[in-house]
Structure 1
Amino acid sequence: MKERLNFQETVLVNGIKVYGYPYDVSFAMIRVIIPLGTAHNQHPILPGSFHLLEHMVLNRGAMFPELHSFKQFIGLNGGYNNAWTFPFETMYEVDVPATIFQKSFEGILSQIFDPIFNLADLENEKNIIANERRRKERWYPGTDELSQYLHSIWKSSSLYPIEQIFGSDEDLTKINLSYLTNLHDSYFCDKIIVLLGGNYDEKFALKKLSEIKTSPQILSGQTSPFEWKKREYHEIKMDSVSRHLYCYGGITNTLDWKEQAALTFILSFLGNHIHGPLYNWLRVEKGWVYELTWFLNYETQGRWHMAFPLNNKAQVVAVREELHGRIQKSLEDKSLVCKEINRILSKSLFLYQKLNDFMNHAFEFLSIEGRIFTEEEIAGTIQSFSDVKYLLEIYEKHMSPIVTGEFLALPKTESK
């Protein structure tokens, strides 16, 4: 198969790295990644600072000085523009018709590197961000009762408190135009990354990026370590749970990419609805579950779990007694493992069908690994999992009873 993840890398004299993906479409995609995010809100930088700066940058720039005029220029031409503050990056995104690429590219650089900060805008954005914080704080770091329990009571697996993202009301009150202007100076660092995809003018883009004056990045970011709070088996009743939900999972603080891929492979292998051994056991053979779910997230640290929504306590007891033996037996079955390898590699045919898929892939790998992996590399890693001894080592290191935790979420009111 032809390699589909060939990005063209250019490193400019000012340190800015540009990754281009020319694609025969009538539009262009622009991603400007500033290597500063929520993790960099460390004293003396106030909590919530970089998220507020992201909001302010989108309001006005030297090229589009009226409030939201750049957003309107993009949107009224059928394009899209937004931004996100991540733990270690802030990413600005613009998708536009190729016919307005030059003006759009120049415009987003103007917003990011030559913004206009207005006092009325600042007070308005503080109120908006306070409202955004209140929208999420009820269940933070989750989005509902169960996920909050998973990530704050079962495990402490939040990278930082919610105030570090959005700032408290007191923090936001302390931020003024002078502070924001000084903070914005940190944007001019030599670790900026730009992704370009589709039908774009590379020569024009490189010329404009070369004009940005940068200096070495000096700010460092920090996140809270993940740790267990209630690792041993326990039971909890919840309003939002309607079945006997048995959860089993772990914390993986140090993983190289192959280990991340192997853990993902194992979870997908065990629980998939095509031939997953745990799925076949609990649904096909026993009829105890409708579905199995699993979760894996890895940024600077990792957390994962599997959820088994069962009908009663007797089924939970049986699953707990047999689970690890069945996992090990499945991983020892090379024929079964190779079927899963073939399934995943065959499914890859359907990946990367849209330009946005390529851009997301690039951002994910640059953010976590510092480089863009090729399809050949990814496929080679997956093929290496035919070494079942390695998969068993991953199980022992990250999934065995001595390193994992478990709990049972019960409905507060039993169904009749």
Structure 2
Amino acid sequence: MNFKKKTLKNGLRVLVVPIKDAPSVTVMSMISTGSEYESKEKNGISHFLEHMFFKGTENRPKSIDIAKEFDGMGSEHNAFTSNEVTAYYGKASYKNFEKVLEIISDMYLNPTFPEAEMEKEKGVIIEEINMYEDLPQQTVQNVFQKMLYGDTPFGRDVLGPKENIKSMVREDFIKYRKSHYVAERTLVVVAGNVSSLDAFKKVGKAFKGILSGKIIKKEKIIENQSKSKIEIKHKKTDQSHIVIGVRTFGVHDKRLPILRVMSAVLGGGMSARLFQKMREELGICYYVRSSINDLTDHGNFTISAGVDKSRLDTAVSGILGELKKMSENLVGTAELKKAKDYLIGQMYLNLESSDSLAGFYGFQEILGQKLKKPNEVEKELLKVTPVQIKKLAKELFVDKSLNMAIVGNVNSKESLEKIFHF
């Protein structure tokens, strides 16, 4: 699976992933901006701005004009905002490549940010915030992030607080776009049934009006945890939702493949250790999963579960017990092979479409990683050894590094503090 990358004279990066005989093509514009680039006062603006790019351009004055053209091709189109990346994409038949590219570039280059639409969208985003606040599985993740990084860009929610959303004005969007939506911070990915030469030429023409600017650096993260932490957000729920985790490292760390395999041993599928322990053996939860959150300069490894309040202590002890085993015992040959095969199989299943391939290569490039093909990622995973996993587990799973966030009908930390250690 080949790719070609080029930096145009104006500083815009273009990445093309040709997929011979594919029925579709995806055009994705990715920008190095997100909640970690925001000030406290403007927290939430990256996500709000993402919404506003769909509200009209100089060539398509209303949101319905954009939607009609996408729908008229039977296309898929969407956008997303994360801590470090904001992206917009359209996916359609390869025959409509030029049309999709033209719409995506028009949204990027010529947004109008109508004030009436902006005021209406404030209500939409506030309801989006309300929706996630009503989902304890999501809320507990936000509590965990804030516990780890506090009142810094790294601990704030991508959506921002409601008071920020209510106070934003059109000039905020214009100023933020001017400094962040520039060639030096932007990547355009084209994946699908296209030729590289044709794609480079057409992207260059479509984005010829892109602004130039400086590369804005994020605030420097400070990692200084010296003891375990527990944070509880009281909420009347039938379940207590917990996240137990530790700080890890960013995407450039050579230990990332080891962490990925270790995570798969613990939480990769229904035969993984956590599922077998928590659901099959103890019968105390419906969902339990392990996750890796890896960004450019920091990361964390977490285990999430939902349990009855009365069985919270049992759940915490069960999870910590499985982590302790990782640091004390070598993973067996058969179990290690299964975990690697799980990761590799999932990776290839998730790369069956042009939009998933655009994301696979696009995220590597926008986060400053060395671009790797799927078979190269596979080779890295296959090299991981039981000794490496045990060594990493010993480094990560120590008492002072533990963190736990809980959302539910729980009032006291006392009993939990007594058992929250290895």
TM over 0.5: yes
Contact 1:10–1:19, Cα closer than 8 Å, also in 2: yes
TM superposition score normalised by structure 1? 0.77
Picking from 189, 199, 205, the partner of 1:195 is 189
Paired with 2:119 and 2:142, the residues of 1 have a C-alpha distance of 26
Picking from 225, 240, 265, the partner of 2:237 is 240
Paired with 1:172 and 1:181, the residues of 2 have a C-alpha distance of 17
Larger radius of gyration: 1
1:252, distance to aligned residue in structure 2 (A): 2.1
**1:9-408 alignment runs, 5 A limit:** 9-23=5-19, 24-42=21-39, 46-117=42-113, 121-136=114-129, 139=133, 144=138, 146-152=140-146, 156=150, 159-162=154-157, 165-166=159-160, 169=163, 173=167, 175-177=169-171, 180-186=173-179, 187-200=181-194, 201-202=198-199, 204-209=201-206, 211-222=208-219, 231=228, 239-242=236-239, 248-254=244-250, 256-272=252-268, 275-277=271-273, 279-280=275-276, 292-300=288-296, 301-307=298-304, 309=307, 312=311, 315=314, 319=318, 322-334=321-333, 336-345=335-344, 348=347, 350-386=349-385, 388-406=386-404
SS of structure 1 residue aligned to 2:185:
coil
1:113, distance to aligned residue in structure 2 (A): 1.2
User: Deviation string for 1:15-67 (max 9, x for gaps)?
Assistant: 21111122223332110123233333338x84444444333332222332345
Root mean square deviation of aligned Cα? 4.1
Contact 1:155–1:230, Cα closer than 8 Å, also in 2: no
User: Deviation string for 1:266-311 (max 9, x for gaps)?
Assistant: 1211344565345555666666666642232222432332246588
* Pair 1:384–1:182, CA change in 2 (3 A): same
1:378, distance to aligned residue in structure 2 (A): 1.0
Paired with 1:306 and 1:401, the residues of 2 have a C-alpha distance of 16
Matched positions, count: 401
> Which residue type is aligned with residue 69 of structure 2?
F
1:408, distance to aligned residue in structure 2 (A): 8.0
* Pair 1:256–1:241, CA change in 2 (3 A): farther
> Which residue type is aligned with residue 301 of structure 2?
W
Paired with 1:282 and 1:85, the residues of 2 have a C-alpha distance of 33
Contact 2:324–2:397, Cα closer than 8 Å, also in 1: no
Paired with 1:248 and 1:147, the residues of 2 have a C-alpha distance of 10
Paired with 1:169 and 1:410, the residues of 2 have a C-alpha distance of 25
Contact 1:20–1:195, Cα closer than 8 Å, also in 2: yes
SS of structure 2 residue aligned to 1:68:
helix
Instruction: Decide which moves more: 82-91 or 147-156.
Output: 147-156
* Pair 1:333–1:161, CA change in 2 (3 A): closer
- 5+ residue gaps, structure 2, are 412-422
1:353, distance to aligned residue in structure 2 (A): 1.9
SS of structure 1 residue aligned to 2:154:
coil
Paired with 2:274 and 2:165, the residues of 1 have a C-alpha distance of 48
Q: Percent identity of the aligned residues?
A: 14
Instruction: Decide which moves more: 355-364 or 180-189.
Output: 180-189
- 5+ residue gaps, structure 1, are none
1:195, distance to aligned residue in structure 2 (A): 0.6
